[in-house]
């Protein structure tokens, strides 16, 4: 019998046993999606779901079929915003946290094809942070 475990098993066990780690994992998945890395963000959220609530219970809570959720967070999944926010909302509620995205600052960015003197301001988002909800 091998003495090692797969990385996914190890992470899943750590998420299930350590609430702070699970919260950080959830936050990281959302931050990656906000940064445009949907593939990695979905993979992290999928592992978080498997280790905490499971797709069956998540499906019941969100009114979405578990198979649809599994596909949504799979490598070729393309979740609709409505479904994704339902899932993230439930995961936040279950973890007892509220993720917030705040505007960090506006920085000037040159628009392609425009004169350099004309500039627009582009918002840069701070990473989501967890806020513990009062009981």
**Which pLDDT tens digits describe the chain residue by residue (135 residues)?**
566 778 878 888 888 888 889 999 999 999 999 888 999 999 999 999 999 999 999 999 999 999 999 999 999 999 999 999 999 999 999 998 888 877 666 566 566 665 554 444 454 556 666 665 655
| Residue 2 domain-assigned (yes or no) | no
The Cα–Cα gap between 70 and 55 comes to 7
| Residue 90 domain-assigned (yes or no) | yes
| Residue 131 domain-assigned (yes or no) | no
Q: How many structural domains are present in the chain?
A: 1
| pLDDT at residue 102 in the model | 75
| Residue 114 domain-assigned (yes or no) | no
For residue 87, give the nearest of 115, 108, 112, 66 by alpha carbon.
66
DSSP of 17-78 = H-HHHHHHHHHHHHHHHHTT-HHHHHHHHHHHHHHTT-HHHHHHHHT--HHHHHHHTSTT--
pTM score, whole prediction: 0.73
| Residue 1 domain-assigned (yes or no) | no
| Residue 76 domain-assigned (yes or no) | yes
The Cα–Cα gap between 132 and 129 comes to 10
| pLDDT at residue 118 in the model | 45
The Cα–Cα gap between 2 and 106 comes to 53
| pLDDT at residue 35 in the model | 86
| pLDDT at residue 52 in the model | 92
| pLDDT at residue 119 in the model | 46
Expressed as residue numbers, the domain containing 47 is 7-97
| pLDDT at residue 10 in the model | 83
The Cα–Cα gap between 20 and 26 comes to 10
| Residue 130 domain-assigned (yes or no) | no
| Residue 56 domain-assigned (yes or no) | yes
């Amino acid at each position: 019998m091998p003495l090692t475990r797969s990385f996914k098993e190890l992470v899943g066990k750590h998420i299930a046993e350590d609430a702070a780690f699970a919260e950080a994992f959830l936050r990281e998945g959302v931050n990656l999606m906000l940064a445009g890395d949907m593939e990695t963000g979905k993979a992290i959220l999928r592992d978080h779901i498997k280790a905490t609530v499971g797709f069956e219970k998540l499906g019941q809570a969100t009114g979405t079929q578990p198979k649809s959720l599994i596909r949504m967070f799979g490598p070729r999944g393309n979740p609709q915003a409505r479904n994704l926010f339902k899932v993230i909302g439930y995961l936040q509620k279950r973890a007892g946290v509220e993720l917030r995205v705040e505007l960090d600052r506006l920085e000037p960015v040159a628009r392609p094809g425009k004169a350099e003197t004309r500039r627009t301001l582009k918002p840069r988002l701070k990473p989501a942070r967890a806020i513990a909800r009062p009981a």
